[in-house]
A and B are shown apart, each in its own frame.
Chain A
């Protein structure tokens, strides 16, 4: 057990029905750092981060075993409510999914409102702060009442980030957040990711190795459901220890 770890998985296995998709993953994610998860399609990276905020179990037939410790508390303990975990571990999805039936303001405020906070100065402040942290405030501050889907794809994704941040989670999970975006929007979000780590712990899944080397401090390489290698990003990309890692990095497959 790593004491610097914000969130770590221990002997984590996951299945969809009888098909096993994750095998014995032991991975410690350091606090206030960006950890990238890379690997070819189907290697289990998305499934992995979904076990970290208990979204995996929402899929019918999904099963898991093992532990996930958030600050040394097992989030899969029987007395733990997934709803609470998801407030502490937020998520941004591959395709931006702002709520279409809500305004930009309401999108950001949604999570807070669930816990009973009423409209008022307090809520306004939280919304502004979250949008600022997501570097979206200046672009939408005149249009807060417009629907969440009325902005561009890149802006929508930053809105989703603001929505997650509004709850002040401890960990932010990002599942290939730029894969549906153009290069300019991608660059903005990459800059944002690096800024976020001062306040949050970030785990980002990406199929783009250059992105991983640009934004992350640590990198984990997954292959066929197993964790092949994990270490500081520079080490992984410049001197990988595992032959498989090297083959992937140099583009021999994947």
Chain B
């Protein structure tokens, strides 16, 4: 799939996950994400492995449950009571230990579910699309910033390798290891990383993409002016009910200024693309689905329809369940359709790639 499709999918999952606190919908969404995760290609060189992210997500989930227990809870369904010190009232109502309620657990689990959905989705994206592919389809205006990030990410593995080698050299000098060794490990690795970055920066400068020519003053002014306009527009919209029309006007003006900046930034460094990855029609349809899902979930949430909001502290009721939001959650698995229908994957890496000699361990 095209990087843009993946980004669209991750964003839509994020919006849906944050728009609902209903555990039924969240569970369905998680199932949809896991289905995509199973089908997604993972041969790409993600920066962080999907496994690491998945483990991180599960740990976060467990932690939020644990914190809910320690921190004490309100609610009527007390499961058990933990011993804990009484913290004086003037410390702001902080609680440690005390009664642990089913409501508290439920709330923590729902929060955790939403985080899991987003982390898994990001993990799939990260494993399926290398940062270099994302860079290739970045709009020209954002190219410089993306290039910096991408190159930084490629330096990460070599810094980890440096750390391993420094540790080994310390052991060869008879150093005992342990926490006190940390500066001796980290300082050389960081110095090595900085020196490598400088050499890379120099090579990039020599190849002519070190720095862009500056933007024209007008464009920079436009970008700078758009931020206060946006803030003012938001302020008027939310706090001054009578001023919503002018707020819309300000918002439009800010957008126009941003568009001006975008155009200038795209032109300042003319580039061509050798082989632009094209967005196939099927994926365009997928992106439309993603947009519809996000808008649908937000709409339901804002109108209060579809039992999107669930509050366990109101006596631990059974969450509502309606067809439309459930469909939205399930439909978030749309990349699965594209992934099943895709042509057979290209043959795996060449045999030389697998025969990593010498430096393997």
- The answer to whether A binds B is no
